[in-house]
Chains A and B, each alone.
Chain A
Amino acid sequence: MKLALGYLIGLVFGVGIALSGMINPAKVLNFFDLAGTWDPSLILVMGGALAVTAIGYRLVFGRDRPLIDDHFHLPKASAIDARLVGGSALFGIGWGTAGFCPGGALPAIGTGRPEVFIFIAALLVGILATRAVVDRRTATAAAARRT
């Protein structure tokens, strides 16, 4: 049940990414090219997604808990720090370089195109290497607090 629902939700998300053009690096890069071949389509993607999510979340958060879990898993971090801003800047530079973001590239796997696998492999290297460094630092800091 949980897995079937997850699959369907992923499918809806992926069809949305495919239909909207977020799956297509040429379209994404043209959206960012204000001074050249600008394609404003992505404004409508963000607008549509945000409007539906903002309204839907209001309704969902009126509940005590989700339908098949015992609580909502919401991010606890609240600091606006150098890590948030620097990380976002690096992400933006990478997105403007490759034209894929994670949510665009994951559904694109289904096209079987080799360029997608190159991007995903590089993405995973970046994610897992950074996680390893961050987790080690967190562990070191926790150990330092204990002594």
Chain B
Amino acid sequence: MTAFTPVASLVGGVLIGVASVLLMLFHGRIMGATGILTGAFLPTSAGDRGWRIAILAGMASAPVACKLVTGGMPALDVPIGSAALIVGGVLVGVGVTLSGGCTSGHGVCGMARLSPRSIVATLVFMAASFATVFVARHLLGAA
């Protein structure tokens, strides 16, 4: 069980939105985790890598920033084993590269622009996630 956290989740969502708007306002870029990560490894031009690494560093600083304010790291429980993490990680990597985005790029930024591609992508990956968890937990009996 995890507790329903409406206020923290809504405030967190608003911050994700604020970051997405700021990145478009200043850099003119989509706040997509997949695109920013991929471009940090495979930049399209010489000057294209720095801002991506800066954003990734900012992201990775967040748990410690939370700890400085609240006194504790954010809750992070992994109810699955290493094999599922590896299989899931590879599938996520292949999938987001083929579809050109993930929850942040398609689900937030693309949906906010009413991009038909992003709306289709988001409906498909959400449906696939619900189906996968149903199969894993209720048909195969995983935790």
Contact = CB atoms under 8 A, between A and B. Distances in A.
A1 B15 CA distance: 21
Contacts of A144: none
A91 B99 contact: yes
B46 interface: no
Interface of A: 2-27, 29-30, 32-37, 39-42, 44-54, 56-57, 59-60, 63, 65-69, 71-75, 77-80, 83-104, 106-111, 113, 115-116, 118-131, 134
Contacts of B19: 9-10, 12-13, 16
A86 B121 CA distance: 9
Which secondary structure dominates chain A's binding surface? helix
Interface in B2-21: 2-6, 8-21
Contacts of B55: 6-7, 9-10, 13
Given A37-B1, A44-B6, A97-B88, A11 B62 contact: yes
Given A32-B133, A72-B24, A87 B16 contact: no
Which secondary structure dominates chain B's binding surface? helix
Contacts, number: 489
Q: Is the interface on chain B under 10, 10 to 19, 20 to 34, or 35 or more residues?
A: 35 or more
Contact of A96 (B98, B107, B132): B132
Contacts of B110: 75
A141 to B, nearest CB: 16
Contacts of A94: 87-95
Nearest to A54: B112
A3 B50 contact: yes
B10 A52 contact: no
Contact of A73 (B30, B76, B100): B30
B57 A7 contact: yes
Nearest to B13: A48
Nearest to A94: B91
19 contacts: A2-B50, A6-B55, A10-B56, A13-B19, A20-B13, A29-B133, A33-B133, A41-B2, A41-B6, A45-B10, A45-B16, A49-B13, A49-B108, A52-B13, A59-B21, A60-B21, A85-B120, A92-B126, A95-B128
